[in-house]
Structure 1
Amino acid sequence: MTPETAQQLLDANFAPWVRALEIRIDDIGPTGATLSIPISDDIARVGGIVSGQALATLADTAMVFAAAGHFQAFKPVATTNLDTVFLRPGSGERIACRAEIVRAGRAVVFAQAEMIALPADKPVATATATYMIP
């Protein structure tokens, strides 16, 4: 799966409010996926930092695409657990999220992600998730 193919899948299958984050798929492969979003006024909260909701959505979406990269095909998955830890305020130009699969079985996938503020290259948040494969 290429980033371009994955981007088309995102655009065709995800809710409008997720697409409104302007998520870009920067890399995808068997070891994971890297997605990023621009930092804009639309996702800022008081103080001009990225809202936690936007970061959690980015992480969840990145881990779904890490699963797609792992399986080399887009499979609908259902988030059953999402845990996000916020480390510092997100600011700068973009937030990049690198997600990878920890373990994948026939029915359950475990994933983790790290979000980095760019261009400072500072960690902003981490996330873990569990997905059921219907």
Structure 2
Amino acid sequence: MTPEDAQTILRENFAPWVQALDLTVLVFDQGRTQVRMPLGDHLSRVGGIVSGQALAALADTSMALATIAQAQIFRPFATTDLHTRFLRPGLGTAILCDARVIRAGRALVFAEAEMTEESSGKLVSTATAAFYAP
């Protein structure tokens, strides 16, 4: 599967509000994804920083795509656990999210993600999640 395949999966299977984040899949490899989220006023909170809700959605979506990349076929994985740590304010033009599967079992898949400012490379947030594989 390719980044273009992942973009199609995102467009056809994710909620409209997730699609409104205008995500671009840059890497879609065996159990790994990199997703770009452009920043704008619609994602900003007081002080002009990216909102935590947008970062959590970026992480969850990127890790879900990583589980699909691991499976090499679209399956509707369900998030069962999501932990997000906000480390510094996210600024700039975009946030990059690198997500990877750390363990894939029969029923549960575990993943982690790091979100960085595109321009500075500074770490903004990290996340871990578990997904149920029906």
Q: Gaps (5+ residues) in structure 2?
A: none
Cα pair 1:82 1:128 within 8 Å, conserved: yes
Q: Write the distance in 2 (CA, Å) between the matches of 1:34 and 1:74.
A: 17
* Structure 1 residue 31 displacement after superposition: 3.7
Q: What residue in structure 2 maps to residue 109 of structure 1?
A: 109
Q: Write the distance in 1 (CA, Å) between the matches of 2:111 and 2:35.
A: 15
Q: Write the distance in 2 (CA, Å) between the matches of 1:65 and 1:21.
A: 15
Q: What residue in structure 2 maps to residue 84 of structure 1?
A: 84
Q: What residue in structure 1 maps to residue 98 of structure 2?
A: 98
Report the count of equivalent residues.
134
Q: Which runs of 4+ in 1 moved over 2 A?
A: none
* Structure 1 residue 89 displacement after superposition: 0.3
RMSD after superposition: 0.6
Q: Write the distance in 1 (CA, Å) between the matches of 2:19 and 2:85.
A: 23
Q: Residues 65-84 of structure 1 correspond to what in structure 2 (within 5 A)?
A: 65-84=65-84
- Partner of 1:36, secondary structure, is strand
Q: Write the distance in 2 (CA, Å) between the matches of 1:31 and 1:9.
A: 15
Q: Write the distance in 1 (CA, Å) between the matches of 2:131 and 2:41.
A: 31
Cα pair 1:101 1:109 within 8 Å, conserved: yes
Query: Is structure 2 residue 52 aligned with structure 1 residue 49?
Result: no
> How many percent of aligned residue pairs carry the same amino acid?
52
Q: Write the distance in 2 (CA, Å) between the matches of 1:123 and 1:102.
A: 20
- Partner of 1:80, secondary structure, is strand
Give a deviation string over 1:34-70, Cα, whole Å, max 9, x none: 0010010000000000000000000000001111111
Give a deviation string over 1:81-132, Cα, whole Å, max 9, x none: 0000000000011100000001001110000000001101100000000011
- Partner of 2:34, secondary structure, is strand
- Partner of 2:106, secondary structure, is coil
TM-score normalized with structure 1 length? 0.98
* Structure 1 residue 71 displacement after superposition: 1.2
Q: Write the distance in 1 (CA, Å) between the matches of 2:35 and 2:103.
A: 20
TM-score normalized with structure 2 length? 0.98
Cα pair 2:31 2:69 within 8 Å, conserved: yes
| Alignment-mate amino acid for residue 114 of structure 1 | E
